């Protein structure tokens, strides 16, 4: 790997044993973290019973993690700066803030709760102890690589009251609405973190060949990665719960939602409970659900560097995540993301034959269709050459994108026994035993790329 290298630093040639060294070769374990935060929760109630409330908080977190080491013989290393290679690190600075205000009370027999909530998360990337080889000996060691920012503003109105319809007890009627604004941004990094400085490889077997541009470990977000995307959604729901007899209760609910960029969806839920004997009851429930693609899954774009061992030789390469609506992703087969859809069935039995003892047996069957995951990296030689040949992308690129790739199904059951006994006033002995055989988990289809 070091044959032909001729690295001179301070007038002294760096020897092969130094070039083969693996000082600071790796760093394993959890990331180094420092964080701080604060929260508040306040409220007041007027003489007429109207409650005003507010809560929220903020956190600040700084983390550091490390990538694979870049060994001195690799062409992505500016050996005049790092004669023994380097171990790059990525520092993430995360700020979260959230706040909610609301008012709730009763009027003409109806309970109401009107609230608005805002949340924001931003993630700054800083890459350290690295280089951009296309800037040669003038390369920086530390780079600001850009920022992700996500925010959400939600307004909710919930209304409920018991309504008499001739049954032995009133039915409980609840309905409400929600309006939401989502925003997602990617901000570019500093110019030197993603541009080509024009310097070829300075030494070694690849001397004179073009170097791979970008700060090693994680390239700064480029202008083509930048985005400021938003969408709105509006939803409404109805929930009715009734005791049809003294032993049988039924709960029905439905929700409809419309997204400005995705479309509409309607889901529902039905649940029933039957008290067969005193202390023994049966319950069952079924529901459908959906999860619209997040803005990040739809528009995220970035490139990260990696080092793979190919035929025994450490080989630099890039993993590029492309948005599904980009020309490259579409050419590789990407399709617009669809919502994840689910159905859920459950049934359980509860038994409480004596004070302090209860037993619950639950079983469930959950199916999720069109789950969104990252595709595999396209690694075939023909596919790897495709971005460079058709889209003027430099480097050994292994492209990927988000896709509705898999359907999953999960089945399982569990038994929980609880026992509570009062040993003395205000002194209790509590015990819980749970038994759960292994769940059945299956993947019915998946994407595969070569």
- Residues 170 and 172: their CA atoms lie apart, in Å, by 6
- Residues 127 and 124: their CA atoms lie apart, in Å, by 10
Question: C-alpha angle 249/254/255, rounded to 5°?
Answer: 150
The more confident residue out of 344 and 328 is 344
Query: Is residue 185's pLDDT more than 50?
Result: yes
Percent of the chain with pLDDT over 90: 62
Residue 205: pLDDT band (50, 70, 90) is confident
**Given this model, what pLDDT does residue 237 score?**
97
**Given this model, what pLDDT does residue 84 score?**
82
Question: C-alpha angle 14/20/23, rounded to 5°?
Answer: 95
- Residues 233 and 179: their CA atoms lie apart, in Å, by 6
394-423 tens-digit pLDDT:
666 788 899 998 999 999 999 999 999 888
Query: Is residue 314's pLDDT more than 80?
Result: no
The more confident residue out of 300 and 398 is 300
pTM of the predicted model over 0.75 = yes
Residue 265: pLDDT band (50, 70, 90) is very high
Question: C-alpha angle 15/17/19, rounded to 5°?
Answer: 70
Cα–Cα separations (whole angstroms), residue 350 to 48, 262, 437, 438: 41, 41, 19, 21
Q: 228, 217 in Cβ contact below 8 A? A: no
Q: 440, 369 in Cβ contact below 8 A? A: no
Lowest mean pLDDT among 86-90, 206-210, 236-240, 295-299: 206-210
The more confident residue out of 358 and 203 is 358
Residue 134 burial (10 A CB sphere; 0-12, 13-18, 19+): buried
207-237 tens-digit pLDDT:
898 888 899 999 999 998 999 999 999 999 9
Mean pLDDT of the chain: 88
**Given this model, what pLDDT does residue 407 score?**
93
**Residue 427, φ and ψ in degrees, nearest 5:** -130, 120
7-50 tens-digit pLDDT:
555 555 666 666 555 555 677 778 889 999 999 999 999 999 99
Percent of the chain with pLDDT over 70: 86
**Given this model, what pLDDT does residue 312 score?**
64
Mean pLDDT within 136-145: 96
Query: Is residue 390's pLDDT more than 90?
Result: no
Q: 264, 255 in Cβ contact below 8 A? A: no
- Residues 181 and 448: their CA atoms lie apart, in Å, by 35
Residue 109 burial (10 A CB sphere; 0-12, 13-18, 19+): exposed
Q: 88, 78 in Cβ contact below 8 A? A: no
Residue 359: pLDDT band (50, 70, 90) is very high
**Given this model, what pLDDT does residue 83 score?**
85
Mean pLDDT within 87-111: 96
The more confident residue out of 101 and 318 is 101
**Given this model, what pLDDT does residue 307 score?**
65
Chain-centre distance for alpha carbon 338? 17
Q: Which residues pair with 286 in a beta bridge?
A: 270, 345
Residue 450: pLDDT band (50, 70, 90) is very low
Helix H or strand E segment including 381: helix 381-391
**Given this model, what pLDDT does residue 220 score?**
94
Token digits of residue 200: 């070829």
**Given this model, what pLDDT does residue 1 score?**
46
């Amino acid at each position: 790997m070091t044959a032909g290298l001729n690295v001179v630093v301070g007038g002294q040639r760096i020897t092969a044993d130094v070039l083969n060294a693996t000082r600071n070769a790796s760093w394993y374990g959890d990331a180094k973290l420092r964080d701080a935060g604060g929260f508040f929760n306040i409220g007041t109630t007027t003489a007429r019973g109207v409650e005003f409330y507010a809560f929220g908080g903020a956190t600040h977190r700084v983390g550091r993690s490390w990538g694979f080491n870049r060994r001195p013989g690799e062409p992505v290393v500016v050996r005049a700066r790092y004669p023994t290679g380097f171990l790059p690190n990525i520092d993430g600075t995360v700020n979260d803030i959230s706040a909610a205000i609301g008012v709730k009370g009763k009027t003409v027999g109806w309970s109401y709760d009107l609230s608005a909530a805002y949340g924001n998360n931003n993630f700054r990337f800083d890459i350290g102890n690295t280089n951009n080889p296309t800037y040669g000996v003038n390369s920086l060691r530390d780079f600001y690589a850009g920022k992700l920012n996500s925010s959400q503003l939600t307004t909710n109105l919930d209304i409920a009251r018991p309504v008499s319809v001739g049954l032995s007890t009133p039915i409980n009627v609840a309905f409400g609405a929600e309006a939401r604004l989502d925003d997602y941004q990617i901000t570019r990094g500093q110019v030197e973190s993603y541009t080509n400085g024009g310097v070829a490889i300075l030494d070694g077997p690849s001397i004179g060949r073009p170097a791979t541009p970008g700060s090693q470990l994680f390239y700064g977000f480029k202008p083509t990665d930048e985005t400021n995307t938003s969408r709105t959604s509006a939803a409404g729901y109805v929930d009715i719960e009734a005791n049809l007899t003294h032993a049988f209760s039924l709960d029905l609910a439905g929700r409809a939602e419309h997204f400005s960029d995705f479309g509409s969806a309607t889901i529902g839920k039905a649940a029933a409970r039957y008290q067969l004997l005193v202390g023994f009851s049966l319950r069952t429930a079924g529901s459908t659900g959906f999860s619209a693609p997040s803005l990040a899954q739809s528009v995220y774009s970035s490139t990260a560097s990696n080092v793979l061992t190919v035929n025994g030789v450490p080989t630099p390469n890039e993993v590029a995540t492309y948005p599904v609506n980009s020309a490259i992703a579409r050419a590789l087969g990407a399709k617009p993301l669809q919502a994840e859809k689910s159905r859920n069935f459950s049934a359980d039995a509860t038994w409480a034959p004596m004070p302090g003892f209860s037993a619950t047996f639950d079983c469930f069957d959950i199916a999720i269709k069109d789950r969104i995951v990252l595709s595999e990296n396209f690694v075939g030689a023909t596919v790897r050459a495709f971005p460079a040949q058709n889209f003027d992308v430099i480097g050994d690129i292994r492209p990927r994108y988000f896709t509705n790739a898999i359907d999953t199904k999960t089945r399982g059951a569990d038994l929980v026994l609880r026992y509570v006994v009062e040993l003395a006033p205000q002194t209790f002995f509590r015990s819980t035993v749970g038994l759960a055989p292994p769940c059945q988990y299956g993947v019915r289809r998946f994407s595969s790329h070569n």
